[in-house]
Each structure stands twice: as C-alpha cells, then as structure tokens.
Structure 1
Amino acid sequence: MEQHKAGRLNLTDFKSVPMRTFHITWLSFFMCFFAWFGIAPLMAVVRDEFSLTKSQIGTIIVASVSATVIMRLLLGYVCDRIGPRKTYTYLLAFGSIPVFGIAFSNSYETFLIARLLIGCIGASFVLTQYHTSVMFTSRVVGTANATSAGWGNLGGGVTQMVMPLVFTGFLGLGFAASMSWRLSMVVTAFGLLLCAFLYFRYTQDFPQGNWDELKDERKKDLAQHIDGESNLKELLKDYRIWLLFVIYGACFGMELTINNVAALYYIDRFGLDLKSAGLMAGLFGLMNIFARSLGGVWADRFGVQSGLKGRVRFLALILFLEGAALLLFSSMDILWTAVFSMIIFSLCVQMAEGATYAVVPFINRKHLGVVSGIVGAGGNMGAVVFGFLFRSESLSYGDAFGVLGIFVMAVSFAVPLIRFSPEKENFEKEVMARAMAVKSP
C-alpha cells in the first residue's frame, strides 16, 4: 500500500493524484469553514435586528457546533464504505442548503434552526483527514494531515475579515443592513456548490483509483473496514480513542469557540467596530497558514526519532502550553496585549490539533474513518460544552476563557496515558523505515 502513496508533500505539484486531491481537499475544507463561521463576524448586526439576549446568542453558539458531532461520527462510517470522493461531494452540496436558508430567517427561532443545520458542514474535517491519510506515506502523513486541516481551518479566520467587507460592499450598493448580511451568506452558499463540483470532477478516492473502479477484493483492502486489528465493537472499547476525543475537544473545541465569540468579545470588551473586531478575531484563524502544519511536522520529527511515544510526548507538551496561553489571554485588559497573547494561544492550539491527528492514523489502520470521525467529533463536543459557559449571565467572556485555560492544562497531563504495545511500536518502526525509502513521484 505505501508504495502507491506520496512520500513527500510537494506543494507545487497539481498533477499527481495525491497532490491534486490534497489541494482540492484543503480548498473545500476552507470553504466549509468559511461558510460555517461566515455569520459569526456579523452577529452584532444580527443581534440588533432580532434583539437577541446573551443567553440566546449562547444557544446559537452551541447549536452551530452541535450537529457536527453526529455528522462526524456518521461520515467516518460512510467514508469507510463509499469512499471520500462521493461523501465529500454530497456533504458540500447538502451544506449549501442551510447556508442559503439562513438568508431567509426572520426570527430568532428560524435563525437558530439554520445555524444548527449549517454545523453539518463541519464534518468535512473528518473527510479531509481521511483523504489525506490514504494519499500519503507514514513518513509525511502527520504533516499532510496537519497542513490540509490547517489551511482549511484558515477559512475560519479569513471569514472573520472578509465577511464584514462583503457586508460593507452590499451596504455600499444601497442595500439595507438586514439585506446585506443575508446576501453575504448567499454568496458563501454558491462557493460551497462550486467546491462540490470540483471535488467530484477532479479528486480520486485512492491513489490507485476510485471506489467504483476497483475490484471487490482490492476495494475491501483499500477501504480498511474489514476485520483486522479488531472488529468495530472492540474498537469502541479502546480507551485511547476516547482520550483523543477529549484531547481534541480541548484544542479544536477551543478553536471553534473562539471563532464564534471572538468578534463579539472584542466589540464588547474593547469597544471596536465591526470591521476592526473582525480583523482582530481573524488574526486567530490566520495562524492556520502554518501553525497546524507545524504541529504535524514536529510530531512527525518526534515520531522519526522516538517512535509513537515521541508523537504522544510532543502532543502533551503543546497542549499544556495552549492552556497556559489561553489563561494569559483571558487576563488581558489592553487591546495590543490581548491580541498578542491571542496569537500565542492560536499558535499553540493549532499545533496541538496537528499533533493530535499525527497520532490518529496509528490507533487503528483498519478503521481509520471511524477513528477519525470519533476523534473529530470530540472537537465539536468540546465546543458544545464550552458554549454553555458563554450562555451564563454571571460569567464574563474573559472569565469563561480563564476556566477553559485551566481545563486544557489539566487535560495535557492525561495525554501520556496514550500508549502502544511493543509489537505496535516495532511494526510502525518498520513501516516508517520503508516509508523513508520510498521515492515520491
């Protein structure tokens, strides 16, 4: 299997199957994130139009990440059975419907329903990680997973900056504010449909071909869902998966939470206008240009030097630093110090995400889609739980961030409990040695 995969990440390659798939995958994920959080930087306008309370905004935040939990669990299973190409295409097309729908909301209730359904496109992360995992060798799979996810997550930062400008552009054309934010979401929905076409037309399920083109026996092998290391019931008993579920909630769950509340936080705490708050909030997401990839790169390096134990140790370290940086951010009262500490926190949280998914492919190769789905759902479950802190009228946003910083630091001490058998360590060392010898096309 390894000899058919790419042995290095050649970002200037747009022709080979692995790299073409890589580029379209991260671009589609970027668009999903852009659409998922497209309304977040405009929530001040929506809040005024619908006269929303802090509790209602908190409920909207929780709803925006709730549906993704179920979809991530479901799509990991589906991906193991029909392949990532069709699964991703269907998700992109379906996701455009509630994005169009939010433009027609006329009350808190209808807005809440649309926001809930938009969360389904957050499951694109599982498909992104699955697709890059089957396209790259063990030598670079952590880097490839982290880079595709990081550049996709970048959409959550870019949308904070771009959507206020799109909104302002529609205002400049003479549209009222109530129509301008709706038209901004319509433009975003068309972007999802374009990505659905590109994904179906130009990607491929596996390096050797598409699901439907492969013979039945080969299809079973490539899909990696036949009984092997364990059956599905035994898989769900693996504590390491559920520990990674919590760990990913502590990093990716925090990113989702920041994407939802950062603009409002800067408006309410520092008195910024819509565009300035969007710019400050967008700086958090822009770190995805390199931060998540950096986490994958360092995890791969630790893996080359110290095996699977090295990957786990690096994850524990960067998660602890994430919690400490969040605690620092929560205490800042001056704008420039808040932005600086937020950038440090962003660097750590996204490196922790990359490091998490540099471990995921080694938990169970036969059920990669299911494992990716469960761990990915942990990120959204974390965001759901964290969202309830921001519903509280007695807690300020800064206080809530402080509580979460302590929680993340506590979780980091549980990371070393992720262990592998000596046989597994030796097997992966052999796989790594073969991967290092593979010459990438």
Structure 2
Amino acid sequence: MVKNQQPLSKLNIFSFKGIQMRTFHITWITFFFCFFGWFGVAPLMPIIRDQLGLTKSEVGNIIIASVSATIIARLLIGKLCDTLGPRLTYTVLLVVGAIPMMLIGLSTSYESFLLFRFFIGIVGASFVITQFHTSMMFAPNIVGTANAVTGGWGNLGGGVTNLVMPLIAAGFAAMGLASEADSWRLAMVVPGVLLLIMAFVYYRYTTDTPAGNFKDLEMTDAAVRQKKEKGSLIVVLRDYRVWVLTLAYAACFGIEITVDNVAATFFIDRFGTGILMAGAMASIFGGMNLFARALGGIVSDKVGRRFGLKGKGTLLGLLLVLEGFGITLFAASGSLLVAVIFLLIFALFLKMANGCTYGIVPFINKDNIGVVSGVVGAGGNIGAMLVGFLFKSEDLTYADAFQYIGIGVVFIGLMVVVTKFQAKPVADVVSPELVLER
C-alpha cells in the first residue's frame, strides 16, 4: 500500500514528492520521448527522400501512414488502461513501439519505410495513457490544468525532435559511424533506446493510482468501480457535441502533428534553408507547447467558471478561427522571417485550442469520460490523415495545402462557435465535482 493515497488537489510543478507528483513528471517525460520518436524521421525526410528516391506522392503517403495507426491505437488503449492499468499499458506500449523505431533504419525501399513508419505511429496513443494516468493522480478541481500541462509538455517532444534529430544524425556522420546519407538510420536508434529506458522507469517508479496498482486493489470499492467503468460507445457517438469536438480536435491537434511532419521539408523547399536551419525553425512550432496548451486549459477553466460550457465552446471556436487565419498568412509568407512570425502566431492559437478542447471533454458525458476522450483524441489523428492527402498531391505545393487547411479550420471554428454545448444548467456543468471523476 502506498502513502498519500488521495489524489492531489494542488499542482506544484516543482515538486517530486509523493507518488502523485512522481507519476506526473514521469508520465509527461515519457510522453515527450514518445513524441520525440514518433516524429524523429520528420526533419530527416529530405535526406531519406533523396536516398530512397521518394516522390512527392510517396512522401505524402508516409505522412498519412505515420498518423493512421494512432487512430486505432487511441481507440483501444483506453480499454487497456481500464483492464491492465496505465502503468502496465504504458510499459507494453513503449517496448512494442521501440521495435519499429530502432529497425526503420533497415528500410531499403519506399514500401519497407512506409510499413515501419506506420507501426511507429502506435506510440501516439501515449497521449491517452498520459491523460488517463494524470486523471487518476489529481483531484477534480485541478485535474484539467494537470492534464493540460502533461499534454503540452509531452507534445513539446514533437518540436524538440526537429532541432535535435538532425544534430544527432550529423554527429554520427562526423564521428565516421555512418555516411551523411545513412546517418538517419543510426540516429533513429536513439529514440528507440530512450523508449526502452522509459519503459523500465515507468514500470519501476509509478503506480496505477495513489493507493497502489490495480492488481493490489481488486477488492477495494474504488478498484471495483474503476474496473466496471466500460462506457457506452453508442451513447457517446449519438451526442452531436462529441462529433463537433472531434472535428475541433482534428482542426487543432490534427494540424499540429501535420506541421510536425512537414515543417522542416516546407522550409527547405520554400526558402532553401539547410536541414539544420529547417529543423531549428520547425522546432519553434513545437516549442510553443511549453506553455500554450496549458494556457488554453487555464483560460478555458476561467471562462467556464463565469460563462459555463457555452463560454468554453465559444472560446474554442474563436481560437480555431484565429488559428485558421494564421495558417493562411503563414502559407502566403514571402520571406523566412515573416513565415516564422506567422508560424508562432498560429501555433499559439492552435495549441491553446488543444487545451481548450480537453477543457470541454470532461463535461460532455461524465459517465463515459474515457470513451469521449478516446473518440475526440482519435479525431485529431483522423484530421492529420485527411489533410495528409493534400501534401501528397502532385498538383499542390505545400504552401497551397496550408492555404486550404487554413480555410477549413476557419469554417470548423465558426461551426464550433454556433454549437450548443450547454446541455445542462450552468451550475451543473461548471461544478468541479463533474470534472474527470473516476
């Protein structure tokens, strides 16, 4: 049995005391490395494209493949969390995900690279486990902020990889361990090893709940209640608000992972930058996760306390509209400096929208929060998969694709603004007791 058995009601990000804060830090760090590995090849794609002789259409298919497996994985991983517990689920996911990550360097053709890229995508389901595990460790009054912080800091890995992976590849080439053309193959072993290390750390130093692991708590009322929570997918899918939030998450998180995939290549092709400079520019986008997603969650909570769920929905819609306009301006930029400025602007609104979306999710169906979270989370990857077809088109430049994306995001934002999220009295939907209770 573990001391400090109750979920924490305060979040002190500088504290490592207690199983709750230890799990908080381990889960976002693990999520960070999952994102780091998931998009590890993205800044190296110009090298890979030249070596494997990939066409623009084939690169587009690879982008689509990288997010496709995550759709299925995110829908299934919540159930595994309910049965195995987040500790074992994360451990298994990390070990399984590390294998294709370390072996992708064996690719010698478009087909083999596509297959490895597809299977690497399962580590994107780490988001669901991180949100689930954080929810177990924090009380209703603070869990929204805690989830936003772990989600944002974990997503940061998608930006850091754009800066670090080209440096790792260049380092191996400089040491003579690989040629410049083959340096990406050895570089991808690094994130795979990191995932194996985090698998051990997660298994050894976390527990499923503040009171212990599921297997140790099977006879307690809390554990029995947790085990019996199956949710109803049909009920959730009948709620139009779930579909609107799924579209909203496709328009923010779906675009985020798309940008993580294509930003470096866009800067090289559009402005003729080198691979290190392109990676540095792309990393700025991901770096916004350091604070922007958490900011969205915090602002959403404040708006919700004053204006209820309707206010939260309006805020989300406005953030998406601003994001869409920012993307269109980014696509039309004629210089690298202007492009980076608009990249920062639309990144801020996009990542705030991420946090705001999951500031609404817990209020949609308090009896099936896990199912709603899984469906909305999968929506992000569905969005990324669909817009991936724009980037594979031989008739569209990457700038053209971003223009169409920006217009689409604006329309989705307007739809969110007019959506009636308020299905219950304000006093009910803003009550802290309804937030992510399990």
Shared fold by TM > 0.5? Answer: yes
Q: 1:141 to 1:415 in 2, by over 3 A?
A: farther
Q: 1:181 to 1:430 in 2, by over 3 A?
A: closer
Could you say what secondary structure the match of 1:422 adopts? coil
Match of 2:120 in 1: 118
Match of 2:342 in 1: 341
C-alpha separation in 2, matches of 1:47 and 1:430: 52
1:355 aligns with 2:395: no
CA contact (8 A) 1:142 1:299 kept: no
2:179 aligned to 176, 188, 191, which one?
176
Match of 2:391 in 1: 390
C-alpha separation in 2, matches of 1:232 and 1:349: 28
Q: 1:430 to 1:276 in 2, by over 3 A?
A: closer
C-alpha separation in 1, matches of 2:133 and 2:336: 40
Which shifted more, 301-310 or 109-118?
301-310
Could you say what secondary structure the match of 1:414 adopts? helix
C-alpha separation in 2, matches of 1:149 and 1:434: 17
Q: 1:304 to 1:137 in 2, by over 3 A?
A: farther
1:219 aligned to 208, 220, 223, which one?
223
C-alpha separation in 2, matches of 1:59 and 1:297: 37
CA contact (8 A) 2:101 2:191 kept: yes
Match of 2:94 in 1: 92
Q: 1:362 to 1:133 in 2, by over 3 A?
A: farther
Letter in 2 for 1:116: F
Could you say what secondary structure the match of 2:209 adopts? coil
Q: 1:322 to 1:116 in 2, by over 3 A?
A: same
Letter in 1 for 2:208: D
* Correspondence list, 1:9-158, <5 A: 9-158=11-160
1:179-230 CA-to-partner distances (Å, cap 9, x unmatched) read: 3211110111000001111111111212232111113442132356157xxx
Letter in 1 for 2:206: T
1:46-74 CA-to-partner distances (Å, cap 9, x unmatched) read: 01111111011011111111100010111
1:196 aligned to 196, 199, 203, which one?
199
CA contact (8 A) 1:68 1:380 kept: yes
1:7-46 CA-to-partner distances (Å, cap 9, x unmatched) read: 2220111122222111111101100000000001111110
Alpha-carbon RMSD across the aligned residues, in angstroms, is 1.8
Which shifted more, 163-172 or 75-84?
75-84
1:317-372 CA-to-partner distances (Å, cap 9, x unmatched) read: 21111111111111101110000100111111111001111111222233232221
C-alpha separation in 1, matches of 2:435 and 2:193: 44
Q: 1:431 to 1:139 in 2, by over 3 A?
A: closer
Q: 1:55 to 1:171 in 2, by over 3 A?
A: same
CA contact (8 A) 1:76 1:371 kept: no
CA contact (8 A) 1:142 1:355 kept: no
CA contact (8 A) 2:144 2:435 kept: no
Q: 1:304 to 1:6 in 2, by over 3 A?
A: farther
C-alpha separation in 2, matches of 1:75 and 1:85: 12
C-alpha separation in 2, matches of 1:73 and 1:150: 21
Q: 1:431 to 1:351 in 2, by over 3 A?
A: closer
CA contact (8 A) 1:159 1:282 kept: yes
Could you say what secondary structure the match of 1:8 adopts? coil
C-alpha separation in 1, matches of 2:410 and 2:224: 41
Which shifted more, 213-222 or 43-52?
213-222
1:278 aligns with 2:279: yes
Letter in 2 for 1:202: Y
Q: 1:321 to 1:261 in 2, by over 3 A?
A: same
C-alpha separation in 2, matches of 1:212 and 1:258: 41
Q: 1:421 to 1:123 in 2, by over 3 A?
A: same
Which shifted more, 301-310 or 96-105?
301-310
1:67-119 CA-to-partner distances (Å, cap 9, x unmatched) read: 00010111122222222111111111110011012011111111110001000
Identity across the alignment (%)? 51
Q: What count of residue pairs does the alignment treat as equivalent?
A: 429
Q: How far is 1:310 from its partner?
A: 2.6
CA contact (8 A) 1:138 1:432 kept: yes
CA contact (8 A) 2:36 2:157 kept: yes
Q: 1:430 to 1:356 in 2, by over 3 A?
A: closer
Which shifted more, 387-396 or 411-420?
411-420
TM-score (normalizing by structure 1): 0.93
Match of 2:212 in 1: 209
Q: How far is 1:262 from its partner?
A: 0.5
Q: Which runs of 5+ in 1 are unaligned?
A: 436-441
Which shifted more, 140-149 or 114-123?
140-149
